[in-house]
Structure 1
Amino acid sequence: MGQGSSQFSETELEDYQDLTYFTKKEILYAHKRFKELAPEKVGHNRNSKLPMEKLRTLPELRANPFAERICLVFSSTKDGDCTFEDFLDMMSVFSDAAPKSVKAKYAFRIFDFDGDDYLGRGDLQETITRLIAPQNFNGEDMETLISRVLQEADLDDDGMLAYAEFEHVISKSPDFANSFRIRL
């Protein structure tokens, strides 16, 4: 199978396969991509941890306005640096094979900038700002947009979105799964 297969035993590959939405071949390819980000660091050290700056050089993250948040959410140490297993989790969640419910769970975590398990006005403003050039919005326009989002999605009228409300909105969005993906 080549050099990549020597990195993992058959049991390890089976474990990764059980824990992700990937085949063994895709897991080996994910490791190859991880290693390409910093071959001098990863080399034969399977426990290498890549800094967020290296991860953000991935073409799929380079132009993503949420790249830092993605790295922070998937980092097991919550500092944005990722081990191969963190990277594999990230790539698995963003894969075409991951169910919409799993994608929604991680999207919610990415958009929850303050980490309070709700998408409040500040989280919504940060999300909108990252999606739309902020110079196109004045404060009043931003407030109107946030109010409309909450009017549509805030089912219990508490001024913020709980995960269930967010998931309800996502369930109505046929394009969500297609926009929340990274292809290996």
Structure 2
Amino acid sequence: MGCNTSKPAPSPSHDRSALASDTPFSEREIEYLHKLFQKLSDSVIKDGLIHKEELRLAIFNNVNQRNLFLDRIFDLFDANKNGRIGFEEFVGTLSVFHPNTPKAVKIAHAFKLYDLRHTGFIEREELREMVLALLCESDLVLPDDVVETIVEKSFSEADAKGDGKIDEEEWKAYAEQNPSLLKHMTLPYLMDMTVAFPSFVESGE
């Protein structure tokens, strides 16, 4: 009972200061993120942590909706791999998607998104799965042969060493040449919490 290892948020100001100094967010924005986190973390299981069902509910309004991109995003958030997202994990991962975050950081995290099997490489089938997921996100339905052409062309360009897999070095070079790959790695609304989450703004402040 007395062992609460998952305090849901850093309410003391010095904790907010630490998070603000480690991320592109201001202390005020950390407060807005805390309110968002509280709302998400109590939507299904009221334990002060975000579970995958709660992230699905927030994005799809459905706790059972399956989505490869969401599953990979959840894995990014869940830094300690315990199946739940704490507040510091929440802020830390959202900071990757901030417009002011260096491109190199976004490229590194995008690699983790595409490395579906956690092998340290992106293989052809993983690239294909992510292409299909991204097309689905964009509501694009393309014939199988067109999808295969996209995958084959992309993979052959990225696999500079020609060894049938894309390592981090190859991925970095490919992403530098194809910035559209990082489109999903930036959320413009993170520039202004008060606009993004107006329902959480306290009147008079």
- Could you state the TM-score of these two structures normalised by the residue count of structure 1? 0.80
Cα RMSD (Å): 2.8
Is the counterpart of residue 129 in structure 1 residue 132 in structure 2?
A: yes
- Residue in structure 1 matched with residue 196 of structure 2 by the alignment: none
Out of 137, 146, 152, the residue aligned to residue 157 of structure 2 is 152
The residue that corresponds to 2:93 in the other structure is: 90
Task: List gaps (5 residues or longer) in structure 2.
Answer: 1-8, 191-205
For the Cα contact (< 8 Å) 1:154–1:165, is it kept in 2?
A: yes
Distance in 2 of aligned mates of 1:76 and 1:177: 21
- Give the count of matched residue pairs: 173
Identity %: 27
Q: What residue is the counterpart of 1:55 in the other structure?
A: 55
**Alpha-carbon separation, structure 2, partners of 1:178 and 1:154:** 21
Matches within 5 A, 1:114-125: 114-125=117-128
- What is the identity, as a one-letter code, of the residue corresponding to 2:49? K
Is the Cα–Cα contact under 8 Å of residues 113 and 123 in structure 1 kept in the other structure? yes
1:31·1:84 contact (CA, 8 Å) conserved in 2? yes
Change (3 A) 1:131 1:32: same
Measured at CA, do residues 136 and 178 of structure 1 come closer, stay the same or move farther in structure 2, by a change above 3 Å? closer
Task: Point out the more displaced range, 111-120 or 76-85.
Answer: 76-85
Query: Alignment partner for residue 163 of structure 1, among 161, 168, 172?
Result: 168
Letter in 1 for 2:167: A
Shift of 1:174: 4.0
Distance 1:69 1:125, change over 3 A: same
